Each structure stands twice: as C-alpha cells, then as structure tokens.
Chain A
Amino acid sequence: MIISLRGVRGSIPVPGKDTVKYGGNTTCIDITTDEGDKIIIDGGSGIRQLGNELMKQLPVSCSIFITHTHWDHIQGLPFFLPLFVPGNNIDIYGSFDPVYMKDLKTILAQQMEYCYFPVRESELNANISYNNLKEGEAIKVGSATVTPLLINHPVLNFGYKVESNGKSFFFTGDYEPPLNIYSPEDEGYEEYQRLIEQQKQILTDFIQGVDVVVADCQYTREEYLTKKGWGHGTHDSCIEMARAANIGTLYFTHHDPTRTDQELDEIYRDVMSQQGLPPTQFHIAMEDTKIEL
C-alpha cells in the first residue's frame, strides 16, 4: 500500500512562508492499497487537493474514515469535489456522538448549513453512505481491513488500523495518553493507574508490530506541562508508544499551528539526540510524504 500524508497540521490550516517545508494543511491521510482501493482518513483541509487529483479519473470510489469531528478533521470535506459529482461512490465512516446524540451525517450536514456554506449536504450528488462505527468493528475495503479503536481525547476519537496484504498502518487521530486524576497519596491512585495501564495495554496490543504509525505529537515536553488534558500527545508519549508496541516507523504529526519549519527541525534534532530511543525510525510528518509498504 501507499500512504500519502495530505495534511499534518493540528487545529487550523497555517499557510505561509514559515510552513512551506512541512505544510500548513490540517489532517488528511490517503491510502491506496496494492489493488487500487482508496482509503482516506480524516477530512481536514488536506483533503481538498486530494479531491482535485481524484477528479482526473471518474468515477471516484473511496472510503473516508473520520477519527473525530473536531473542525481540523472535517473542515476540508465541503471542498472535496468528488462529493459533488453524480456517479462517484463515497462511503463515510465514523463514531456516533453519544453525548450530543448525533450521528455522523447530522454533524457533517450541520457543517454545511446554509449560514456556513453555500451548498447543502442534501445537494451533494455523489452516492454517499454514512456509517456509524462501533469500536472494534472491522470494515473491509477491497483487500484491506480498517479497524477503529477508541483512544483518549476530549471527544470520542477513533484511532484506525489499516491492514492489507500483510502490511499494516495505524493513525492515532488526536490522542493524549490518559492521565491519573488522583494524586499519589490518594486512595484511588493505584486503582486508577492500573486502569490506565490496562487501557494503554489495549492500545499496545492493538498496534503491536505495526509497520508505520502516524501519531499526534502537538506539544513538546515543556509545552505539555500547561496543556495537560487538552487531548494531545508529545514526543515522549509517541516514543513510549513506539517502544511498547515495537513499531517500525513512526511519524510525529498534528503539528501545533504556531510551529515554524525551523522549530520543527530544531525540536526533532533535540528529541533524536536523547539517549535510549527504541529502534523505531522516527520522522516529522511532512505534507505530501509518500510511504510505500
């Protein structure tokens, strides 16, 4: 399979001279299996250019998996041209929102209400199916299998594992390893820690030996001290994930919008110079990177 990173930025697109190298588009990952099946994870602003390229060969058939419906993961969908063209087949998958009692179709349609966008969801002409996924429910897309796992973020967020012809890929979506809500001297501390370890183990088992992981790494260790509970990972948390699950290659993604290319390079150099890193290959996610498996 070929994995293309179409958007690697967190929170909001940041075009400009400081983001030319790593890119300013928000999250979108495009995967083409050996058989040519198209799997897209998230519809951040990076999905727009992907849509323009797909339009060169009609009809378009693809499956879009949404990790969660925060804006930076869906804001490009209204600009994904294949949605507008009759004859295209687009299957959209994601989680039902149990707190707001809204399914994926409702949330996406609300994003396209007339006060926000000139074309309504009901005017999209492609054959679109909306599918509310349950955790662990494996979806077949051609020869590939896509499986969601719920991992910690302020809203429900699915990490997706894509497997095809013996190769595997995992994207975290937005992920912050769960934190202990108790202080070490509290009675509940140990019990809570055990539950955290159990939850982390589920993730570790789920991604054990995956060839390539793209993981949320919005903050540095220092920044994280004031951003706990905001739902994002750090280099440390990504490195631990890679070590625990024997990951071959890991890409740090969801770059903070304030981060310049130069800062990304400097931070990467610092992180890579530390002792005791696992044998994983670490890279900074860069827009338009193509990974062949």
Chain B
Amino acid sequence: MPINHDQLIDMVDKIPTFQESVHRILALTTSPDCSAKDLVQVIEHDPILTIKVLKLVNSAYFGLSQEVTSVNHSVVYVGINTIKNVAISVATTGALPKSNKAGLNMNRFWEHSLAVGVIAKLLAENKGVGKNEQANYFVAGLLHDIGKVLFAHFIPTEYQEVLTKHDAAKTPLHQAEKELLGFDHSEIGAMVAEKWQLPPDLINSIKNHHGAEAQDQHPLSLAIYAANQTAHYLELIKQASEDNDTDALDAAAKIDDGLPAPVKAWLGWPLSDVSKWLSNLDEEVDKALAFIDLSDGD
C-alpha cells in the first residue's frame, strides 16, 4: 500500500506545467490600476491561456453574435474588466484535474482552498505585506492542499482508504496519509509547486502547512498555517452553531489552543478574534467559486 518515491515523482510529472503567465496575471491583477495592454500581452504569450480565454468568451455563457478570434478582439468586444476576471479564473484553476474516483469532494476541496487563499490574503493585508506580494499569499492558500488532488487522481483506490480512515478514526488527514501511503499531501504538493517553479517561499509554505513549529519561518508559511487553521476553526464553529455540536466547539477551541508558538506570535491574536473580522468571507469565497465553475469547460 505505501507508495515509493518514484511513484510520487511520476505523479508530479503527469501534472501539466503551471505557466509563468499565471503568476504574471495574478501579480498584475492584484493592482487596481492593472494595465490592459500588459494583461493582453501576458495572455497572448501563452497559447494555452489564449485558447481557454477565447473558448470561454465564445461559449454559450457569453452568447455573443460574432466569433471572437483574438485576445485583443475579446477586450474590444466584452471589455477589459470581464477579460481580467476570465483570465484569473482560467489561470488559477485550469491546470488541475476536475474530478477523481477516490471520493474527494472537489467542491469542498475548492471551497476550503479558496477560503484559505482569501484568509491568507486578508492576513497579509492586515500585516502590511506589500500589494504585489499579496497575490502569492492568495495563490499559496489556493494551492496548499494541491497534493490531495494528485493522490485522489492518480491513486484513487489507495486514497479512498486514506479518506475512510480519516473519517472513521478521526485521524487527521495528513497523518492518515503518512501512515497508509508513506507520504502526505504537503510533501507531494510542495513537489508540484517546485515543478511549477513557484517562488521558494511559496513552496515552503505548502510543505509546512501542517508543521510550523520551527522558528525563523517566512511570514508566508506562518500565514498559510494560520489561514488553514482559521478556515478549519470557522468550519467547526459553524457546525457547532448549526447542529448544537459541543464536540465541534471543543475541537475548535483545541485548534486555537494548539497553534504553534511562531504562528501565534505572528498572528498576534487568538483565532476567535481573527474570525470576527472575516464576516464576509463566505461571500468572497462564493465569488471566487463562480470562477471555478466557469473554467470547467474543457
């Protein structure tokens, strides 16, 4: 049942590349006065992205009466704001498999990933991280669990057992993975990020999102750890209030108490306080989710 390192590398190899253009789009679109010309150039220099944008604009969603034949044409026709939103959606979600046979609920996966991305970005904002760098916080949050998708896609039978063990024995997922597969999703996730040539800090934040005990960590790693735990905390609090579930409440308190010291120090307040200024999180996540549905057309 455990997988070997070669199998791990093989899975990573099969994942398509995550283009440089994606970073550039995310960096560009983080700035409110993003130049239309630059955005068009980034899309145009990436044939796959170009095809995806054109496919979407020409799809039934838009229902245009003329066929759009170039990125410039699409901007003239439906406007730069629309193309900007379409590009972000296609860029961030286009590289991943859409379904799996292991029973990993992809909607929940994305909801959680987006929540972590949004929270990480908000935390970065709050901690005074520069605008340009904030995109990395969002991407790191979005991708932190990417390893789960690889497992579920490439070794569905084994991963189903992992998911079952996690559900039945309440073993944390990364521990169940380690026990049954020998590797956990943060390790393979970091390998994918490496293959995609993401910045080293971002790779580390994926690698460390279940282990931030070490000192001298980059704020990105601390933010992703904190954002991930915040998302879990909020889910438990929601469950507790909806089902009057005191176990969930205890579990939430345990997450809050169990934050590693460096994360606690970086955050500066307990999770119960963080959650208070995230009241419109659901809305932000819903908005981002719409992008994912939108790019489901290939």
Partner-B contacts on A (CB < 8 A) = 96, 98-102, 133-137, 150, 152-156, 178, 181-182, 186, 188, 191-192, 195-196, 198-199, 202, 229
Per-position 1/0 for B126-149, Cβ under 8 A of A: 000000000000000000000000
Comparing B59-67, B93-101, B254-262, the segment that makes contact with chain A is B59-67
Contact check, A136 vs B65: say whether CB atoms are below 8 A apart.
yes
Contact check, A192 vs B63: say whether CB atoms are below 8 A apart.
no
24 contacts between A and B (CB under 8 A): A96-B63, A98-B56, A98-B59, A98-B62, A99-B86, A99-B290, A101-B61, A101-B290, A134-B64, A135-B65, A150-B77, A150-B78, A152-B79, A154-B79, A155-B79, A155-B82, A156-B82, A181-B37, A181-B40, A186-B37, A188-B72, A192-B72, A198-B76, A199-B77
With A and B bound together, what is the CA distance between A100 and B290 in angstroms? Answer: 6
B80 to chain A: which residues have CB within 8 Å? 181, 229
Given contacts A135-B64, A181-B40, A182-B37, 6 further A-B contacts (CB under 8 A): A98-B82, A134-B65, A137-B63, A150-B78, A198-B76, A199-B77
Contact check, A181 vs B36: say whether CB atoms are below 8 A apart.
yes
B76 to chain A: which residues have CB within 8 Å? 152, 178, 192, 195-196, 198-199
With A and B bound together, what is the CA distance between A133 and B60 in angstroms? Answer: 11
With A and B bound together, what is the CA distance between A99 and B84 in angstroms? Answer: 10
With A and B bound together, what is the CA distance between A224 and B186 in angstroms? Answer: 52
Tell me whether A99 and B85 are in contact in the complex, defined as CB-CB below 8 angstroms, given that A195-B72, A202-B66 are known contacts.
yes
Whole-angstrom distance from the CB of B289 to the nearest CB of chain A? Answer: 9
B218 located at the interface, meaning its Cβ lies under 8 Å from any Cβ of chain A in the complex: no
B238 located at the interface, meaning its Cβ lies under 8 Å from any Cβ of chain A in the complex: no
With A and B bound together, what is the CA distance between A98 and B70 in angstroms? Answer: 19
With A and B bound together, what is the CA distance between A137 and B65 in angstroms? Answer: 9
With A and B bound together, what is the CA distance between A229 and B59 in angstroms? Answer: 26
With A and B bound together, what is the CA distance between A188 and B40 in angstroms? Answer: 10
With A and B bound together, what is the CA distance between A133 and B293 in angstroms? Answer: 21
With A and B bound together, what is the CA distance between A150 and B65 in angstroms? Answer: 9
B294 located at the interface, meaning its Cβ lies under 8 Å from any Cβ of chain A in the complex: yes
Residues of B in contact (CB 8 Å), total 29
Tell me whether A134 and B81 are in contact in the complex, defined as CB-CB below 8 angstroms, given that A100-B290, A192-B72 are known contacts.
no
Residue in A closest to B286 when the chains form the complex, CB atoms:
A100
B61 to chain A: which residues have CB within 8 Å? 96, 98, 101
Contact check, B36 vs A195: say whether CB atoms are below 8 A apart.
no
Contact check, A154 vs B81: say whether CB atoms are below 8 A apart.
yes
With A and B bound together, what is the CA distance between A198 and B82 in angstroms? Answer: 20
Q: Sorted from nearest, which 9 A-B pairs have the closest CB atoms? A: A134-B63, A136-B65, A98-B61, A181-B36, A101-B290, A135-B65, A195-B76, A99-B85, A181-B37
Per-position 1/0 for B3-43, Cβ under 8 A of A: 00000000000000000000000000000000111001000
Residue in B closest to A98 when the chains form the complex, CB atoms:
B61
B64 to chain A: which residues have CB within 8 Å? 134-135, 150
Whole-angstrom distance from the CB of B84 to the nearest CB of chain A? Answer: 9
- Tell me the B248-298 residues at the A interface (CB within 8 Å): 287, 290, 293-294
With A and B bound together, what is the CA distance between A178 and B61 in angstroms? Answer: 22
B173 located at the interface, meaning its Cβ lies under 8 Å from any Cβ of chain A in the complex: no
Residue in A closest to B289 when the chains form the complex, CB atoms:
A101
Whole-angstrom distance from the CB of B33 to the nearest CB of chain A? Answer: 10
B287 to chain A: which residues have CB within 8 Å? 100
With A and B bound together, what is the CA distance between A152 and B78 in angstroms? Answer: 7
B178 located at the interface, meaning its Cβ lies under 8 Å from any Cβ of chain A in the complex: no
With A and B bound together, what is the CA distance between A146 and B257 in angstroms? Answer: 63
Residue in B closest to A135 when the chains form the complex, CB atoms:
B65
Whole-angstrom distance from the CB of A229 to the nearest CB of chain B? Answer: 8
B66 to chain A: which residues have CB within 8 Å? 202
With A and B bound together, what is the CA distance between A139 and B177 in angstroms? Answer: 58
With A and B bound together, what is the CA distance between A96 and B64 in angstroms? Answer: 11
With A and B bound together, what is the CA distance between A202 and B65 in angstroms? Answer: 11
With A and B bound together, what is the CA distance between A227 and B79 in angstroms? Answer: 16
Whole-angstrom distance from the CB of B29 to the nearest CB of chain A? Answer: 13
B234 located at the interface, meaning its Cβ lies under 8 Å from any Cβ of chain A in the complex: no
Q: Which of B59, B77, B80, B293 has the most chain A CB within a 10 Å cutoff?
A: B77
Whole-angstrom distance from the CB of A200 to the nearest CB of chain B? Answer: 9
Tell me whether A99 and B82 are in contact in the complex, defined as CB-CB below 8 angstroms, given that A195-B73, A195-B76 are known contacts.
yes
Tell me whether A135 and B73 are in contact in the complex, defined as CB-CB below 8 angstroms, given that A100-B287, A154-B81 are known contacts.
no
B181 located at the interface, meaning its Cβ lies under 8 Å from any Cβ of chain A in the complex: no
Whole-angstrom distance from the CB of B287 to the nearest CB of chain A? Answer: 7
Residue in A closest to B69 when the chains form the complex, CB atoms:
A195
Residue in B closest to A181 when the chains form the complex, CB atoms:
B36
B180 located at the interface, meaning its Cβ lies under 8 Å from any Cβ of chain A in the complex: no
Candidates B37, B40, B78, B290; contact of A156 at CB < 8 Å: B78
With A and B bound together, what is the CA distance between A202 and B281 in angstroms? Answer: 42
B75 located at the interface, meaning its Cβ lies under 8 Å from any Cβ of chain A in the complex: yes
A181 to chain B: which residues have CB within 8 Å? 35-37, 40, 75, 80
